[in-house]
Structure 1
Amino acid sequence: MIDHYYYGSIFTPQTNALLERIQPLIEPNLTRYVDKFYDVLLSDPGSAKFLSNELVEQRLKTSMTKWLRETTKPKTKEYVVDSMRYHQSVGEVHARAEIPMSLVDVGMTILKGEIFTTLILAKHSTQETAEAVTTLNRLLDSALSIINDSYMRGKVTNERTSQEFITASSAQEVALEIERIKSSIYQWMTSTLLAHKFSTDAFNESLFQKDFGLWIRHKLPLISADTKRAGDINAALELADQACTALAKSDTENEREQAAKLTDTLKEIIWLLTDEADRNLAKESKQDSLTTLLDRRFLSPILQQETAMALQGQNSFSVIMLDLDHFKRINDIYGHGAGDIVLRHASKTIKDKIRLTDYVFRYGGEEVLVVAPELGLEDAVKLAERIRVGIEQLHIELADQRHVKATASLGVATFNGHPDYQRLLNEADAKLYEAKRSGRNCVRY
């Protein structure tokens, strides 16, 4: 029967007894299996781009050893359900981190080869060796099928959400942001070209570090339904940045040509952005209706993008988790209508304090999450403090001419190299509750 091959049906008394007997062979070699697994993957250019030596040593080897130990040990009937959930969570992590399942399949082949070699060299009877190899092969394949299924469900959900984020963008807000970006480009272009007449220092900073450069690199790909246009704008910015580098060299022989190239390229970017804004005007809103913040369901594609960019060696990013203090008390004393007013004022303050490049989500209830691309811990803490002060200084007037004050607790976390962005959210959440335990109305990191 096919049920015989399902993960939940594998752990019979006979199978558990067999796993008990081979545990002394497998357990001492777990580290060696995992080392071999990553040695092979890191030596292959196709798989190495998803990994790094530092990531493997600090994060993934420990997780892989834990998974292998968990998978190959005997299990009671009651524990099998928890074990299946564990494999499902592994698949979810792979989906969030966008690790290809083809890479996981290759890894499984490597692990099987190492484990089976151990069993064969143990010189047990032919029948017992065959039974052990067959059982572990069935067990590992069943665990992998659970991971695969969970991965595909997570991948489909993420892709659907990513597309929904693009197609549900608020046309008005996108158009407004684009106008601000165009204005920023115009302002930089005129002031910098004027300054260049007196000094070449004006071109020393990369355009990708400017507000408009950060926006183009991080936000544009997530709000543009046309990936080619977003790519064209990024490519044009790269050309403009190269022209800046050439102009920064005081001995350049074609200074006028480079300045003209820079101006023409920036004008092309402005034209492409104008076209993008025009195409967005017919779209619907993706915002939470009360706060006008982004809906939490759009968080996944953004964090996936920022994590991937950080892992590729670009600058890190930070998240800020915020919770309004004693919000239930405000609702209880003044009514839920007053709570809504406080939320709207606090949300507007947060949006006023963040950079144009940043994202701000209504995370749940009175919780807000800020995602800040290319912002290190020190600057993220400063941003969180500006938000905290801004909320503390609010003087909120209610409908009945009463007034209410609000404060917030904030937790800050910076990307630390783990490909699963949920770890980062958990860290920010832990820091948020540390802020609450410290008396509220403060920032912890």
Structure 2
Amino acid sequence: MHSITAVSSAIDTENPALVAAWQRGLTEAGPAATQVLAQLADTGAAEMAVHFYQVMLDDKRASRLLSHDQVRTRLQPAMQRWVRDLLLATPERVESLIAAQRVVGDVHARVGIPVDLVTRGMRVLKQRLFQLISEQAGHSEHAHAAVACLTASFDIALECMTLAYSNARERSSRTDAAYRLFSLVQNVGTERERQRALLLDWENTLLYALASQNETPEFQSLAGSEFGLWLTHKGIPSFGESSETQQICALMAAVDQTLHDTLDTKRDLKVRSAHLQEVRARVGQIRNLLGMLFERIGELDAGCDALTNLLNRRFLPTVLRREIELANKNKAGFAVLLLDLDHFKSINDQHGHEAGDRALQHIASMLSQFTRGSDYVFRYGGEEFVVVLVAVDERQALVIADGLCRRISDSPVLLADGQPLAITTSIGVALYDGHPDYERVMARADAAMYQAKKQGRNRIVLADDSLPEAPDRASLQNR
């Protein structure tokens, strides 16, 4: 909270000068120039939005961010409104316009739009608008005044966006760095032994498969194993990118390639044995590198919820940005489950806050116990929890969500006097749909969870585009 306040203060110190500069530019333009810009707002805003995205989609980086249908359908009307707002700017509306540019800058930072694309977009729009002014008003004095006014509005808007963007990116960088230090392995010794055991189990399963008489032994790739998923989705972002993590990834790829070659039915047992020795040597190297990485990690409590010992939502944006990046890179998917403990207020009112705390701890324990080591479990706030399921499709996500819902309802929490208290949860399930803004998948999970509540609680609902937004819900950063 302190960092957010600091960022807001940093922006606010720039406000008076920006407000004064924008108001001065609008006032000096005069009514004739203002009328030229107002006519452009009526006739050219829609064309500007189309022209902007046509130019942006020619860049591969922008195409990746803007190719999703939902992005286009949302952004094109939003761009049209943005152009109209700037063309119709008045001195009285400057402060609200500056606040709007801040929001745009924050969104750009969340999605990861490169700054040069934003400045290019501004340049493209200004050039086209200058042409329209020339066509409409020629080279008259008020046409020049309109160009000067338009230039000032666009430049100050860009300055506001850039300031918000840079502050948001700085804040994200600090959180990402804290996340790597904190790691997602709060108990280093336990997690180290757990991952060693998973690696050993995979190796033993492989040994049995390759030693069998089957011509085409069945075994799971190391990258697709529980250890491999943990390393990709949790280990690397926890340890940070380093030569050791790069070596482990290269060794895993080499192991899986060797195993792929071993599936050749022409291979005899001697060849399989030789391949097995090669694989075991590389797995041994992975084990040694993993030990080195764990030795560097200390136990930090920042980012951990004191009551449940789960992650708090501080690192949720970091995790979701990482999963979006992996999903786009690997053409895979992930899902977000938003869980809410049903009738939590009644539990506190009827049985006391200690019972409420016990219920929350019980759900946290169930979520940790019945999700995979590669998944993430957060206490989102109050009686809400978030689970990020990595590398899943819709069917897998629904099976896991349904299992969690049933296990919680079938497992009452024991109160201090030994009496059982039945508890249930409502769960919203949202699959990553390609939208680059992580707040979208959270909003969809939120809407689905709200519907689960509305439909009677103790159930799961899968998010789709037909669901209305959950009412009275703040954005992810402010919740």
TM-score w.r.t. the length of structure 1 is: 0.90
- Residues 272-303 of structure 1, C-alpha deviations (whole Å, 9 max, x = no match): 22222222245446421100110111111111
1:244 to 259, 263, 276: 259
1:68 to 83, 105, 110: 83
Q: Tell me whether 1:160 sits opposite 2:174 in the alignment.
A: yes
Query: How far apart are 1:116 and its partner, in Å?
Result: 1.6
Q: Tell me whether 1:302 sits opposite 2:319 in the alignment.
A: yes
Query: How far apart are 1:191 and its partner, in Å?
Result: 1.6
Matched pairs, number: 444
Q: Tell me whether 1:139 sits opposite 2:156 in the alignment.
A: no
Question: Using the alignment, how far apart are the partners of 1:62 and 1:308 within structure 2?
Answer: 26
Query: How far apart are 1:344 and its partner, in Å?
Result: 0.6
Q: Which amino acid aligns with 1:126?
A: S
Query: How far apart are 1:217 and its partner, in Å?
Result: 1.1
Q: Which amino acid aligns with 2:412?
A: H
Mapping of 1:36-435 within 5 angstroms? 36-45=51-60, 48=63, 50=65, 52=67, 57-58=72-73, 60-75=75-90, 77=92, 79-169=93-183, 172-196=186-210, 197-199=212-214, 201-202=216-217, 206-225=221-240, 227-251=242-266, 257-281=274-298, 283-284=300-301, 286-435=303-452
The residue aligned with 2:470 is: none
Provide the secondary structure at the position in 2 that maps to 1:280.
coil
Question: Using the alignment, how far apart are the partners of 2:219 and 2:26 within structure 1?
Answer: 64
Q: Which amino acid aligns with 1:110?
A: V
The 8 Å contact of residues 331 and 338 in structure 1, kept in 2 or not, is answered as: yes
Provide the secondary structure at the position in 2 that maps to 1:370.
strand
The 8 Å contact of residues 7 and 143 in structure 1, kept in 2 or not, is answered as: no
More off after superposition, 32-41 vs 146-155:
32-41
Query: How far apart are 1:318 and its partner, in Å?
Result: 0.9
The 8 Å contact of residues 203 and 247 in structure 1, kept in 2 or not, is answered as: no
More off after superposition, 212-221 vs 19-28:
19-28
The 8 Å contact of residues 170 and 283 in structure 1, kept in 2 or not, is answered as: no
Query: How far apart are 1:348 and its partner, in Å?
Result: 0.2
Aligned-residue CA RMSD (Å): 2.9
The residue aligned with 2:5 is: none
Provide the secondary structure at the position in 2 that maps to 1:369.
strand
Question: Using the alignment, how far apart are the partners of 2:91 and 2:429 within structure 1?
Answer: 41
The residue aligned with 2:455 is: 438
Query: How far apart are 1:402 and its partner, in Å?
Result: 3.2
Provide the secondary structure at the position in 1 that maps to 2:187.
helix
Provide the secondary structure at the position in 2 that maps to 1:235.
helix
More off after superposition, 356-365 vs 129-138:
129-138
Query: How far apart are 1:32 and its partner, in Å?
Result: 4.1
* Structure 1: gaps of 5 or more residues: none
Query: How far apart are 1:93 and its partner, in Å?
Result: 1.2
Q: Which amino acid aligns with 1:116?
A: F
Question: Using the alignment, how far apart are the partners of 1:414 and 1:241 within structure 2?
Answer: 28
Question: Using the alignment, how far apart are the partners of 1:251 and 1:133 within structure 2?
Answer: 75
Question: Using the alignment, how far apart are the partners of 1:243 and 1:143 within structure 2?
Answer: 55
Change in CA separation of 1:402 and 1:75 when aligned onto 2, cut-off 3 Å: farther
Change in CA separation of 1:173 and 1:24 when aligned onto 2, cut-off 3 Å: same
The 8 Å contact of residues 409 and 440 in structure 1, kept in 2 or not, is answered as: yes
Provide the secondary structure at the position in 1 that maps to 2:458.
coil
Question: Using the alignment, how far apart are the partners of 2:174 and 2:367 within structure 1?
Answer: 28
Query: How far apart are 1:172 and its partner, in Å?
Result: 4.8
Q: Which amino acid aligns with 2:419?
A: R
- Residues 318-371 of structure 1, C-alpha deviations (whole Å, 9 max, x = no match): 111111011111111111111111111111011111111111111111110111
Query: How far apart are 1:99 and its partner, in Å?
Result: 1.7
Q: Which amino acid aligns with 1:192?
A: L
Question: Using the alignment, how far apart are the partners of 1:85 and 1:238 within structure 2?
Answer: 48
The 8 Å contact of residues 175 and 280 in structure 1, kept in 2 or not, is answered as: no
TM-score w.r.t. the length of structure 2 is: 0.84
Q: Which amino acid aligns with 2:337?
A: I
Question: Using the alignment, how far apart are the partners of 1:252 and 1:31 within structure 2?
Answer: 65
Question: Using the alignment, how far apart are the partners of 2:70 and 2:343 within structure 1?
Answer: 40
* Structure 2: gaps of 5 or more residues: 1-15, 463-479
Question: Using the alignment, how far apart are the partners of 1:293 and 1:10 within structure 2?
Answer: 52
Change in CA separation of 1:317 and 1:127 when aligned onto 2, cut-off 3 Å: same
Change in CA separation of 1:205 and 1:52 when aligned onto 2, cut-off 3 Å: farther
Query: How far apart are 1:226 and its partner, in Å?
Result: 5.5
More off after superposition, 37-46 vs 9-18:
9-18
- Residues 215-246 of structure 1, C-alpha deviations (whole Å, 9 max, x = no match): 11111122114633223222222222222222
